[in-house]
Amino acid sequence: MTGKIHLNYVIPGDDFTRAGEASGEVKKKLKQMGVSPEAVRKVAISMYEGEINMVIHANGGTIDVDISTTDITIVLKDNGPGIKDVALAMQAGYSTAPDKVRALGFGAGMGLPNMKKYSDNLIIDTKLGYGTTVTIVVKIG
Amino acid sequence: MTVEDVKDVLGARVICGEEHLKREAHTACGADMMSDVLAFVKDQCVLLTGLCNTQVIRTAQMMDVVCIVFVRGKKPDQAMIDLANECEIPLLCTGHRMFSACGMLYESGLRGGASY
């Protein structure tokens, strides 16, 4: 692979059935490019968790993916309510998701812990009332 | 154990992905919370669930799940079937409840896919 590849997705916030489309596309793309299965898996899970969070909590947003020869960087940006207590949100099992989200199979408080588990670097930049930007880095090879 | 073995053990009906029945399954996981599946499932896993929406298929896609078994007679809709076909994930349906279906597979030699 030569040079960087950039991908951009707009995530609608009002359609839960479409959540995960972008992550699915990126996973396919990385497999086609011959990226290692471990790195593909890490990107797929961490990005999907972020995409789901975006739909559940922030009425959608944008995702930018940069693929280089050494790493994959995913930036998830939303204009949602922001995260009040990041340390608390990072604890496995803590969730502010409403019951209707739990009925859909999410909101178990594993989203951010999973993103941390499956990324090599996770940066959360959030401001109450303004939104959240999550940056995930997964190293290749 | 192959997907076909899973089908036979559970007396399950194949909804789609008949061409993938020879796939090997190494582990299984029973869950209705997809968050837990994303947290704990390993590769080449059979997913048993009573949850029936497109995010079950999406989650399986991300986790490289070998096949999905819907328990308690749950039936996926056409959008789920289309997505499963696109992702090449076989869908099976059984009338057994979650506990029974997991027990039957365990008794046949399949073990849990959780890592803690």
3-state secondary structure B5-74: HHHHHHCCEEEECHHHCCCECCEEEECCCHHHHHHHCCCCEEEEECCCCHHHHHHHHHHCCCEEEECCCC
DSSP 3-state of A62: strand
Its domain, for residue A89, covers: 5-139
Counting the structural domains of chain B, the total is 1
| Strand B111-112, strand B27-30: pairing | parallel
Flag whether B20 is in a domain.
yes
Residue B114 has pLDDT above 60, yes or no: no
Is residue B75 in a domain? Answer: yes
Nearest CB to B51; choose among A105, A110, A114: A105
Distance from CA of B80 to the nearest CA of A (A): 10
B2 vs A: CB within 8 A? no
Q: For residue B34, what is the domain's CATH number?
A: 3.40.1390.20
The residues that bridge with B48 in the sheet, in sequence order, are B30, B69
Confidence of residue A109 (pLDDT cuts 50, 70, 90): confident
Interface of A with B (CB under 8 A): 16-17, 19-20, 23-24, 27, 41, 44-45, 48-49, 52, 92, 102, 104-111, 113-114, 117
Scored b (16 or more CB within 10 A) or e, A131-141 reads bbbbbbbbebe
For the domain that residue A128 is a member of, what is the CATH number? 3.30.565.10
Q: How far apart are CA B11 and CA B8, in angstroms?
A: 5
CB < 8 Å to B35, chain A: 105-111, 114
pLDDT digits (tens, 9 = 90+) for A8-40: 999 998 788 899 999 999 999 999 999 999 999
**All residues at 6 or more sequence positions from B87 whose CB lies less than 8 Å from its CB, including other chains:** A24, B57, B60, B61
Alpha-helix runs per DSSP H in chain A: 21-32, 37-58, 86-89, 99-102, 111-117
In a domain, B116, yes or no: no
Q: CA–CA separation, A81 vs A60, rounded Å?
A: 12
Let me know if residue B115 belongs to a domain.
no
pLDDT at A141 exceeding the cut of 80: no
* Confidence bin at A103 (pLDDT 50/70/90): confident
Q: Is A20 within 8 Å of B62 when comparing Cβ atoms?
A: yes
Domain that holds residue B21: 3-108
On whether residue B83 sits in a domain, the answer given is yes
Say what the pLDDT of residue B113 is.
Answer: 59
Encoded amino acid at B73, one letter: G
* Edge-to-edge strands, sheet with B111-112: B13-16, B91-93, B67-70, B45-49, B27-30, B111-112
Instruction: Mutation target for B interface from A16, A42, A45, A119: give the one with most B CBs within 10 A.
Output: A45
Q: Name the domain count of chain A.
A: 1
- The SS3 assignment for A107 reads coil
Q: Which residues pair with B49 in a beta bridge?
A: B70
**B113 within some domain:** no
User: Which tens digits make up the pLDDT trace of B55-94?
Assistant: 999 999 999 999 999 999 999 999 999 999 999 999 999 9
